[in-house]
Structure 1
Amino acid sequence: MPNLLAMSFEGELAPCFDLCCLHPGSKRPPDGWGLGYYPGGEPSASVLKEPAPPHGSIRSELVKAWEHLAASLFVLHIRTATWGAISDANTQPFSRSYAGRDWLFSHCGSLRHRLERSNTKGLFEPTGSTDSELVFCELLAFFAQNGWRSIGDADPSAVRAFFERLGAHGNMSSVLTDGRDLLAYADAHGEGQLHLGTICPPYEKLVLEDADLHLDLGRRGVEAQKGILVASNPLEGSGATWKALSPGHLLVVRQGAIIADMPPGQATAARAAGRDLQRPAPAEARRLSIVHRTSYRYDKPVERSSHLLRLTPIHDRLQTLHASTITLSVDGKQRDYDDVFGNRARKVVIEQSYTELVIEARSEVSLLDTEPFGLRPFHARSTIPLVWMPWQRQVLQPYLLPPELPESQLEVLARYAMTFVERNDYDLVDTLFDLNQTIHRDYLYQKGSTSLSTTPYEVYTRRTGVCQDFANLFICLARLLSVPARYVCGYLYTGPKQPNHSMAEASHAWVQVYLPEVGWKGFDPTSGVVTQTDHVRLAVGRSYVDATPTSGTIYLGGVRETLDVAVHVTPIE
């Protein structure tokens, strides 16, 4: 029986909790059960409890069928009584109000020795008679004494020391939540083991169960949310990956991501998901030679065609263009101009017959963006939402409009984007780093899995794609947060021994976002890095259509096109 189950997800979902242990004809029912959650992401918790539940309990049917049972954080406890009467006051999860929010606590075990109350001047007192509630009160008093108003304020090493100190009385495996973060601790002596479950999209149906609980996460619709589960016993089902937490392991989860991880023996908690970021290490300036060769072949001759080429790298203060040539194997009328996005473009019209067209661009550039955030102290804080002056918004408008998708899909993506904001305390740069690293970590790079028509919503639900798809998803999420973002096409220098060396054999795509008092800065969600001196910018725009290196139209002739592209990026010593 999973007497403790806590769940944290990206955004809200409405799971179906079916307590099989209360079905008519099942074995003896438990001594009680309780479910706590935070509807609408509010700091106020809703807790439904039932001591001594009968078979066919009406309350258990409610949590099974009630569609309004929606939140991003849940705590379920099924009680087997050891201390205290079977009553509502002794049924977990326990709830207390502190620092303007409701806190929930659930303990998956029992103490061997009765715990004596400390002198907390009645700040938090049990209403029941269980040792678990007393531990909860002592823990909240410990938070108050240290001035911590949330789990995010707490020092994980001090919290673990608190549990270790009380561990002399017995099993301390438990979870604590303030409605935003979920803290889990596995007893240092190995009593009451906890298990960590990870749920990763894509999935259409997600059911986890054992003999006492049937948990259907997809019954009322699941929007490809990632989730973290903590349970006293792992549930069966193909949708989750489980591992046992080592004795003494403490972790903190927020919006379906681990933000603090403190394994046993580690003195400080490792922060994750974009937290406690340091400025990117300075990079050396680099000079590169690029050869971009595109070949078109046709079974029947093309008689007339036009082509638009964006094959001249950008020249500005962070990228110096030393030389650039474009040659075509077939003569045509050519005209160079700067497009509305500032890209150097070449229009070519060919009015003679050909079955093969080779376009070769050669360039030499110096990359000087050695410190992307060097113009501004990295600790300077910009928070979401950003406020733009009317003229700034007008200039940035093309980079603030999300793609044209059904409103329902944009609402889903907006909720997904907000999970990054909430996970990072509304800090702009932390949110962007978290988004960049999450796409790199959680989305699978798979050639051929998408097409030019693949939408950001489809990438979000499938969790696969290529650099273009990941850039489009990043851009969509940033714009939904009112952060200006634009598409960048260019080249990536991976070095002679990099594992992703094949990415240098084609053009690459990434994102630039406009940061107040910093300017346009590049984020590469495919590689999970901030762009510096490995990324050569070729063209920018609202989307791929504005920045594609080569495009064209065949007006007459041409059957069955074959396209070959070869890109070589080499350093110049």
Structure 2
Amino acid sequence: MKYKVTHTTNYIYEFPATLCHNLMFQIPPNLSFQNVEEYSCDISPKPSSEIERTDFFGNKYLYFSVERSHKNLTVSSKSVVQLTVPPWISVKPSETMPWEKVVELLHSTETSTDVRQYYLESNHVQFVDGVRAYALKSFTPERPIMEAMLELNTRIFRDFAFTPGFSDISTPLEKVFKHRKGVCQDFAHFSLACLRVIGLSARYVSGYLETLPPPGKPKMIGADASHAWIAIYIPGHDWVEFDATNNLLVNDKHIRVAVGRDFADVTPLKGIVYSGSEQEMKVSVDVRKLKTE
């Protein structure tokens, strides 16, 4: 599968801003199953400084500043990405390690700290009351970890309603759990809480889905904006990705951008602006399948 991704953010200020500093996480990485053929970013007005860096989690990001008066800021990133089927698609869930054994390994020195850091709480992933009991309905004693994760993924898909407008990024996980509704970021954060509270390592994944599905196929939920899902660490198979919003074991239709503990680590665009007025933000995402040669 080959896709063209266009992610455009437009800030409109009531009165001119004099200065802004920004961090942008919209640069897809090259992976064994994802090849980035083209990438570009257009920023208007032209930044005074612009530097591409790599963060603690290995994500590429762009820092830029605009140091002159402006009433609009437009950031448009474009990429062409070739995807192949990831290796975990061929894994037999029943043959993966019992989840309790994975917990033992994670809490020993046999596993690197790069993996172990993902079983801790984070800004948006708190161990609220009831989450552990919810998780253990799928993670029963001695059950293979991938088999249990597939069931948890399905339960979240069935129990929670995708409800745009119910939450924003400041909505606490406790409220999402209580009302059983939210958007893809909420489903990802809840999935992470379920896994981390029982001692497993899991990380947040940001990216995109195809905007328009093939003829006769249903449109995937979350395709009109940047998307989010999770990856759980399974010994022998590394990080395996699941999308509870669409009840999927992630395949060759998900374009990966960045990974972190939660949304706060990989916000698509964030920054500080010096202005004495209100601002409006408009975001559009378009993901189109391209014909392969």
TM-score by length of 2: 0.91
**1:279-301 deviations in whole A, cap 9, x for unaligned?**
xxxxxxx1111111111101100
Which of residues 159, 165, 179 is equivalent to 1:448?
165
Q: Does 1:368 align with 2:84?
A: yes
**What is the match of residue 264 of structure 2?**
545
Q: Give the 3-state SS of the residue equivalent to 1:551 in structure 2.
A: strand
Q: d(CA) in 2 for partners of 1:450 and 1:406?
A: 15
**What is the match of residue 278 of structure 2?**
560
Which of residues 501, 521, 527 is equivalent to 2:246?
527
Name structure 1 gaps, 5 residues minimum. 1-285
1:225-304 matches, cutoff 5 A:
286-304=1-19
**What is the match of residue 202 of structure 1?**
none
Whether the 8 Å CA contact 2:22–2:269 is kept in 1: the answer is yes
How many residues are aligned here?
Answer: 284
Shift of 1:307: 0.5
Q: Give the 3-state SS of the residue equivalent to 1:390 in structure 2.
A: coil
**What is the match of residue 463 of structure 1?**
180
CA RMSD of aligned residues (A): 2.1
1:436-515 matches, cutoff 5 A:
436-493=153-210, 495-497=213-215, 498-500=217-219, 503-515=222-234
Q: Does 1:517 align with 2:236?
A: yes
Whether the 8 Å CA contact 2:209–2:253 is kept in 1: the answer is yes
Q: d(CA) in 2 for partners of 1:405 and 1:298?
A: 29
CA 359–404 in structure 1, closer or farther in 2 if over 3 Å, else same: closer
Q: Give the 3-state SS of the residue equivalent to 1:392 in structure 2.
A: coil
Shift of 1:450: 1.0
Q: d(CA) in 2 for partners of 1:507 and 1:438?
A: 23
Whether the 8 Å CA contact 1:420–1:431 is kept in 2: the answer is yes
Q: d(CA) in 2 for partners of 1:311 and 1:403?
A: 22
Shift of 1:311: 1.3
CA 411–346 in structure 1, closer or farther in 2 if over 3 Å, else same: same
Name structure 2 gaps, 5 residues minimum. none
Shift of 1:393: 5.2
Identity %: 27
CA 318–504 in structure 1, closer or farther in 2 if over 3 Å, else same: same
CA 474–359 in structure 1, closer or farther in 2 if over 3 Å, else same: same
Q: Give the 3-state SS of the residue equivalent to 2:277 in structure 1.
A: strand
Shift of 1:353: 0.7
Q: d(CA) in 1 for partners of 2:79 and 2:196?
A: 33
Shift of 1:371: 4.7
**1:448-494 deviations in whole A, cap 9, x for unaligned?**
11121223322221100000000000001111122211111110125
Q: d(CA) in 1 for partners of 2:145 and 2:177?
A: 21
CA 464–309 in structure 1, closer or farther in 2 if over 3 Å, else same: same
**1:229-254 deviations in whole A, cap 9, x for unaligned?**
xxxxxxxxxxxxxxxxxxxxxxxxxx
Q: d(CA) in 2 for partners of 1:392 and 1:570?
A: 39
Q: d(CA) in 2 for partners of 1:364 and 1:546?
A: 24
Whether the 8 Å CA contact 1:487–1:541 is kept in 2: the answer is yes
Whether the 8 Å CA contact 1:510–1:524 is kept in 2: the answer is yes
Shift of 1:514: 1.1
**What is the match of residue 336 of structure 1?**
52
**1:302-332 deviations in whole A, cap 9, x for unaligned?**
1011000111112111111111001101122
CA 539–558 in structure 1, closer or farther in 2 if over 3 Å, else same: farther
Whether the 8 Å CA contact 1:337–1:345 is kept in 2: the answer is yes
**Letter in structure 2 aligned against 1:538:** V
**What is the match of residue 99 of structure 1?**
none
